[in-house]
Amino acid sequence: MITFTDRSQSEEIEPHPDLILYFQETQKFDSKLPDDFVNGNEHHNIVSNIEQNIFLLNRLNERKLLNQNNHMIDCGIGLGFTLFDFYLQSLDMDKSFTFTGIEKQKIYTKYIKSNLLDFWNNELLLIEDDIMNHNYKKYNIVYSYTPYRSEKNLREFYNKVSDEIESGSLIIENANSGLGHFDILTNIDSLERLEIDDINIFIKR
């Protein structure tokens, strides 16, 4: 069972029933990760701190940070629980959204395709690739939760995303209240930090 506390309001929130079902399905995942992956520089599927994301689309909307047509991507989608939460949030909004997840590890994409795609009502575009091979120009919300352990790789990734997205597009990291490890995002000149209640997001100038 999952429970959420909206830390900005200090109140308990009931998760969407489909989010609970999705979570339960992800708990059945028991495939073995490749050995080189476990010891490598890339993180495995560690789910975001979901309390940070409560009502986040609404909170962005209230601050006029969304477009009428929004294109959101999770870079390293894992099993998709976090992006699915955003998808459910979007269903109550008067704006349109597309959802894309990119993931390099076939054990995750295979599990999504076999067990989780039905939850998405054909609204997930799943790309099996390395996040460094993708171009982020068309997305106005780029989400990621620290795909790399190393500062160098993380920095290269966020520099690439920041270079490619359009002015006004958002980058949302889950680590370190949105600041990312190693102060990665605060050190990119083309990004401006915005405080949204108790978290930070970044907007391209």
Ligand X SMILES: C[S@@+](CC[C@H](N)C(=O)[O-])C[C@H]1O[C@@H](n2cnc3c(N)ncnc32)[C@H](O)[C@@H]1O
Name the residues that contact ligand X, by CB under 6 A. 42-48, 74, 76-78, 81-82, 102-105, 108, 130-132, 145-147, 174
Least distance between ligand X and beta carbon 83 (Å):
7
Least distance between ligand X and beta carbon 20 (Å):
16
Least distance between ligand X and beta carbon 84 (Å):
10
Q: Which is nearer to ligand X, 37 or 197 (CB)?
A: 37
Least distance between ligand X and beta carbon 130 (Å):
4
Least distance between ligand X and beta carbon 161 (Å):
12
- Determine the Cα–Cα distance for residues 75 and 127; give it in Å rounded to an integer: 10
Q: Which is nearer to ligand X, 45 or 89 (CB)?
A: 45
Q: Which is nearer to ligand X, 64 or 115 (CB)?
A: 115
Q: Which is nearer to ligand X, 2 or 205 (CB)?
A: 2
Q: Which is nearer to ligand X, 130 or 192 (CB)?
A: 130
The residue sitting closest to ligand X, measured at its beta carbon, is 76
CB 196 within 8 A of CB 160: no
